[in-house]
Amino acid sequence: MTATATARAPVQRGQAIVPSLSARITPLQGLRQTMSLAWRTLVQIKHNPFELIDFSVQPVMFLLLFTYVFGGAISGSPREYLTFALAGIIVQNSLFTTLNTGVGLSTDLEKGFFDRLRALPIARFSPLAGRIVADLVKQAWSVAMLLGVGALLGFRVGTNVFGVLGAFGLVLISTLAISWSIVLVSMIVASPEKVQIFGFIVLFPLTFTSNAFVPTASMPGWLQAWSNVNPVTILSDAIRGLLVSGPVATPALQSLLWALAFTVVFAPLAVRAFKRRA
């Protein structure tokens, strides 16, 4: 037996011929397959431009509505409110777009895409990793677009290029960690629609009980206590510090700890559930 494993001969089962998987897929091959499947997800946008709504139109709509509807009432002017709220809008948009990972995986399972992959010599982790990588690219696009539109509306970065890059990195790390919980949900529920329903039920109260859009000082005392430990509040504070000004080290470290906790708890469960379904 040579060091490099080769594909085995097809195995006949009844009238169907099922090709066996390769005895071994190297990590480099698995990485290439992951990138190919990620590209497959991104290329779908060209054939279905409506997918851009979740990553382009919807974030801009939230930005405009919050800035011009709440800006004057909360901060005295839309521009002042934008300085406070843009970080929270970025966090809120990133959390809600993690649902696309779960919905996409659930749709692929429902349409039998993973069943077709079983007949190919492909790494078991590639389909899941490819979807997550593609959605991280979309997340980065959304953050960049929100910063660009925010700049057109009057937002100005108060730090430097390293602060902006740090904000990008922290948002992507945090949403990657949270997406493991959405992946787990998509493997448990029966349809993409239920993934969205479950996600909105959890993410709406989590986001709107934070300081993403309003200062916690305006909340009742009992709600302030929760808001101060809410991971959305902590992440929003860290992004504000990196983009505008204020404390960075403590909220950024706490956000990374939250990300680590989500990954440690949900990633093994999500991968196990994915292997059972796919």
**Position 172, amino acid:** L
**CA–CA dist 29, 86 (Å, integer):** 40
How far is residue 171's CA from residue 239's CA, in Å, rounded to a whole number?
8
Give the tens place of pLDDT for each residue, 189-237.
867 888 888 888 888 889 989 999 988 888 898 999 999 999 999 999 9
Helix axes 231-243, 78-97, angle to 10 degrees: 130
Tokens of 83: 């300085």
- Mean pLDDT per segment of 10 residues, for the chain of length 278 residues? 43 44 67 84 75 77 88 83 93 88 81 71 78 88 92 91 94 93 85 82 89 88 91 95 92 96 93 80
Q: Give the closest residue to 27 by CA, choosing from 118, 126, 119, 120.
A: 126
Stated as kind and residue range, the H or E segment containing 73 is helix 71-75
Do 104 and 38 contact (CB within 8 A), yes or no?
Answer: no
Angle at 201 between CA 255 and CA 85, to 5 degrees: 50
**Does the pTM exceed 0.85?**
no
The closest alpha carbon to 251, from 240, 262, 260, belongs to 240
How far is 118 from 25, CA to CA, in rounded Å? 13
CA distance 109 to 153: 41
**What is the C-alpha R_g of the chain?**
21
